[in-house]
A and B are shown apart, each in its own frame.
Chain A
Amino acid sequence: MTSPIALVPAAQLRPLLDGYEASVRSRRWHTLLILFCIAVAMVLSSISAEVSLPKLFDNIHRFPSYIIRLFHLENGRPVWTDFPEWFWGLPRWLRLLGETLLMAYVGTVLGAIGAFVLCFFAAANVAPSRWLRMAVRRFCELCRTVPELVFALVFVIAFGLGPVAGVLAVAIHTVGALGKLFAEVVENIDMKPVEGIVSGGSSWPVAMRFGALPQTTSNFVSYALLRFEINVRSTAVMGFVGAGGIGQDLIEAIRKFYYSDVSAILLLILVTVAIIDTLTSKVRHQLIGREERR
């Protein structure tokens, strides 16, 4: 049977095949080299991080047993058999949870206000001066690179234990994170309205107010809501360093091995975070929808 496909003569095929194999081989070498580098880095960092697999395998059974114990009461019964006992501290925890949410809200709003003021000075297309722009950008980078808990630790010394330190830490981190995002929003605006206002003889603040701001509001709000979601998670652990919120009770429960309390508080946090996520994502989709209809 003759094949309908025309075969290339062997003499012609040889160099083609050789070339193909050479290219595959060089790629393979490349991959092996990368894998080798990664393996070396892994070994070095395992030494530095005191990784010991025997220790892990000897103790790994404690991980599931810890999780299982989380769902058992003091008297050894599973938690769902006795809800009042499991959530014995519900009024207190709900109050702390409310405080956590309030902290996240205040921190987000304060940070968003700061970022809002800064972003017009940090955006490349509207910034009044180049040096100011660089300075504002560096400041935002500093604010978002230093971890929130570090700020919280410092603020706890200055403002004492309590939510004030936590709120300020969250606010500063938010200034950094939102400042960058807001500046990017401003950089993406249509410059024609701004040019029109400036050409009419108006000052820079007026141009920002009526030229730039109307194009950015819904994006600003959407990013701020996204940040609120993240901040709820991070304020929940602010209490670990004494900066207010439910984290204080959580770490105490973990440290003192009140297993059922740990699972109850964690569950409360998870449910709250899930509810907030759903709500904010709904509002955000509405905002984005409004933007697209325009």
Chain B
Amino acid sequence: MQRRPAIDLVAIRDRHPQHFARFDRQRLLTLLTGIAAFALLLFGLAQLGFFGGTLLSGGARLVEIIGLMLPPDPGSWAHARTFGVALLETVAIAFLGTLSAAVLALPLALLAARNVTAARVVRFFARRSLDTIRSVDILVWALIWINVVGLGPFAGALAIMTADIGSFGKLFSEAMEAADRKPVEGIVSTGGSHALGIRFGILPEIFPVLASQVLYSFESNTRSASIIGIVGAGGIGLHLAEAIRTLELQQTSFIIVLILIAVALIDFVSSKLRFAMIGRRGAMT
């Protein structure tokens, strides 16, 4: 058997010092970043009152609360009926909000898309206004709409619509910019106007993408719709906040379970529809 030649570690170390350095620049930098992040975490925990003893006593109370939440129980049939109706209202708010947002966002997205709107000024203003709409939280929109149409689910639907116009506008305009240019060129080359090019060149191509985005956000909007009731804009959130505040914990967990079921159902149906429209591969992106 042939002996392996002895490894000359010293020579290798001399030839590749960078692989033997225990702390090279990169590693040191990573380590320092990590330490800084951890220090900030500790500072934050201290600053926000995590070490004041509330964590232990609160944790004990939380365990107790969770114990009291089980099993979920609406209390009476009348309550269960009320919650069921409120849940339907929540879904209705989400549905209306999503759909009207999609309808209103389409023209705005046309204005914000580079290959549709040539005027840079128009595009700039369309984008900035979409950004602004998007960065105001849905609860704030709900409060503003309550000032306009009063308390109730209508304000909630309008709030979801407003908040969603921002996100749909952005998503739609991005989809338009990603569309193939060749159909439009074909239409324009045979004498069609720019508007015809958009109608028959861009819209048919992106329509399935838009529809899938709308379906996708229907699910997340159902979740949003279930909390805007906390500020008085209709839906099941009102009952939820009230049940928590009056410590009806079994009702609370019942309502949470209702919301979970509704969201899961909508998720299931909308993903089925999405796959039917654009195929499994397209839906993943």
A-side contacts of B212, CB under 8 Å: none
Q: When chains A and B are docked, how far (Å) is the Cα of A52 from the Cα of B149?
A: 10
- On whether the beta carbons of B58 and A273 are closer than 8 Å, the reply is no
Please report the total number of B residues contacting A with Cβ < 8 Å: 61
B272 at the interface (CB under 8 A from A): no
With both chains docked as a complex, state the minimum distance between the C-beta of B161 and any C-beta of chain A, in angstroms.
11
Within 8 A of A (CB), among B31-47: 37, 40-41, 44-45, 47
A32 at the interface (CB under 8 A from B): no
> Looking at chain B's contact residues, is the secondary structure mostly helix, strand, loop, or mixed?
helix
For A145, give its contact among B147, B223, B231 (CB under 8 Å).
B223
Within 8 A of B (CB), among A237-294: 237, 240-241, 244, 250-251, 254-255, 266, 269-270, 273-274
B-side contacts of A48, CB under 8 Å: 88-89, 92, 153
Which residue of chain A has the shortest Cβ distance to B99 in the bound complex? Answer: A42
B-side contacts of A66, CB under 8 Å: 144, 147-148
- On whether the beta carbons of B154 and A55 are closer than 8 Å, the reply is yes
B-side contacts of A153, CB under 8 Å: 230, 240-241, 244-245
Interface with A: B15-23, B115-123, B129-137, which one? B129-137
For B154, give its contact among A52, A106, A149, A163 (CB under 8 Å).
A52
A33 at the interface (CB under 8 A from B): no
Q: When chains A and B are docked, how far (Å) is the Cα of A44 from the Cα of B96?
A: 10
- On whether the beta carbons of A102 and B91 are closer than 8 Å, the reply is no
- On whether the beta carbons of A266 and B92 are closer than 8 Å, the reply is no
For B223, give its contact among A109, A147, A159 (CB under 8 Å).
A147
Within 8 A of A (CB), among B46-77: 47-50, 54-55, 58-59, 61-62, 65
A44-B92, A49-B156, A240-B230 given; A274·B135 CB < 8 A: yes
A146 at the interface (CB under 8 A from B): yes
Q: When chains A and B are docked, how far (Å) is the Cα of A14 from the Cα of B235?
A: 57
- On whether the beta carbons of A63 and B144 are closer than 8 Å, the reply is yes
Which residue of chain A has the shortest Cβ distance to B48 in the bound complex? Answer: A163
A193 at the interface (CB under 8 A from B): no
- On whether the beta carbons of A233 and B153 are closer than 8 Å, the reply is no
> Looking at chain A's contact residues, is the secondary structure mostly helix, strand, loop, or mixed?
helix
For B95, give its contact among A41, A52, A55, A233 (CB under 8 Å).
A41
B169 at the interface (CB under 8 A from A): no
B-side contacts of A106, CB under 8 Å: 41, 44-45, 48
Question: Can you list 11 A-B pairs, Cβ within 8 angstroms, ordered by A?
Answer: A50-B234, A63-B145, A66-B144, A103-B44, A145-B264, A149-B227, A153-B230, A154-B65, A159-B54, A159-B58, A254-B143
B interface list, Cβ under 8 A from A = 37, 40-41, 44-45, 47-50, 54-55, 58-59, 61-62, 65, 88-89, 91-93, 95-96, 99, 132, 135-137, 139-140, 143-145, 147-150, 152-154, 156-158, 223-224, 226-227, 230-231, 234, 240-241, 244-245, 247, 252, 256, 259-260, 263-264
A interface list, Cβ under 8 A from B = 38, 41-42, 44-46, 48-52, 55-56, 59-60, 62-63, 66, 99, 102-103, 105-106, 109-110, 142, 145-147, 149-150, 153-155, 157-160, 162-164, 167, 233-234, 236-237, 240-241, 244, 250-251, 254-255, 266, 269-270, 273-274
